[in-house]
Amino acid sequence: MIEAVIFDHDGVIIDNQPYQGAAWTELFRENGINISEEDISTKIRGRPTLVGLKNFFEDKYTEDQLKELARRKEELYISFFLKDFKEVSGFSKFARKLHDLRIPMAIATSTTLDLLNITLDKLQLQGLFQVIVSSEDISESKPSPQIYLVTAERLGVTPDKCAIFEDSKSGIESAVAAGSKVILVTTSHKPNELNISGINLTIPDFSSLSPQQVLTL
């Protein structure tokens, strides 16, 4: 029986993948570089911005230069994302149902706390989650299971009693490695694009999902 539920942010709570991609594309365009969707998917998506930049550029830039690029990317992302903010269909209603059932919930994300708070404010969900773990709280990025192990510990439950909602390849690998039940939200990938064992349930969004489907995994 599931005792706690953990949500990733990008592509799970908010449908922001087009804006993340647009921000990355614009950042590289400003710097005279063409970037493919494959590069975004394999080297960047699901990871903190700075880690994505290091994956792409390796040793071509200094740490300070990479931090400035990361700052600019977040600036671009916010400008795109605020113009057309939308949640993944049914998320707020689903989260409130879990809250009414007194199921502990957490958000564990590579997103910064500042960006996460924008989402919670816009969706009026502040105070609904017992634990929030962001990129500032961890030393290892996904696919390391660290973020989910830390989140489960802070929730006071073992990882195998947690259900984790994820959308990215690195995020799913992280959740599987943590030993949790894993729900794939297909906002970033089609189900047949990810050849990963350990996915317990696949959903397009939360509109038809009941708490019992998750709690009985």
Domain end among 52, 82, 112: 82
Mean per-residue pLDDT for 86-112?
96
Is the domain of 26 the same as that of 90? no
Say yes or no: 116 and 42 in one domain: no
Q: Are residues 69 and 96 in the same domain?
A: no
Would you place residue 56 in the very low, low, confident or very high pLDDT band (cuts 50, 70, 90)?
confident
Res. 16 pLDDT band, cuts 50 70 90: confident
Same domain for 121 and 205? yes
Do 38 and 74 belong together in one domain?
yes
Looking at the structure, tell me whether residues 93 and 193 fall in a common domain: yes
Same domain, yes or no: 158 and 70: no
Name the band, by pLDDT with cuts 50, 70 and 90, for residue 20: confident
Q: Is 39 a catalytic residue?
A: no
pLDDT tens sequence across 156-176: 999 999 999 999 999 999 999
8 and 44 assigned to the same domain: no
CATH of the domain at 182: 3.40.50.1000
Predicted confidence at residue 135, as pLDDT, reads 85
Catalytic, out of 8, 10, 15, 167 = 8
pTM over 0.85? The answer is: no
Domain boundary among 82, 102, 132: 82
What is the average pLDDT across 23-50? 85
Quote the pLDDT of residue 191.
76
In this structure, what CATH number is given to the domain that contains residue 61? 1.10.150
Q: Give the pLDDT band of residue 44 (cuts 50, 70, 90).
A: confident
- Residues 125 and 177 both lie in one domain: yes
What confidence tens digit (pLDDT) does each residue in 179-208 have? 999 999 999 887 788 888 999 999 999 999
**Which pLDDT score, from 0 to 100, does residue 204 have?**
96
The tally of domains found in the chain comes to 2
DSSP letters of 7-51? E-SBTTTB--HHHHHHHHHHHHHHTT----HHHIIIIITTS-HHH
Do 54 and 153 fall into the same domain?
Answer: no
- Whether 168 and 207 map to the same domain: the answer is yes
Residue 206: the pLDDT is: 99
Model confidence at 72, in pLDDT bands (50, 70, 90)? very high
Owning domain of residue 146: 2-14+85-214
Residues 110-154 pLDDT 10s: 888 888 999 999 999 999 999 999 988 999 989 999 999 999 999
Distances (CA, A) of 201 to 16, 22, 93, 153, 208: 22, 29, 19, 23, 13
C-alpha angle 184-74-153 in degrees, rounded to nearest 5: 45
- Domain termination residue (choose one: 44, 62, 82): 82
**pLDDT of 45 over the 80 cut:** no
Are 37 and 139 members of one domain? no
- What is the phi/psi pair of residue 207, to 5°? -65, -30
Mean pLDDT across the chain: 92
pLDDT of residue 18: 81
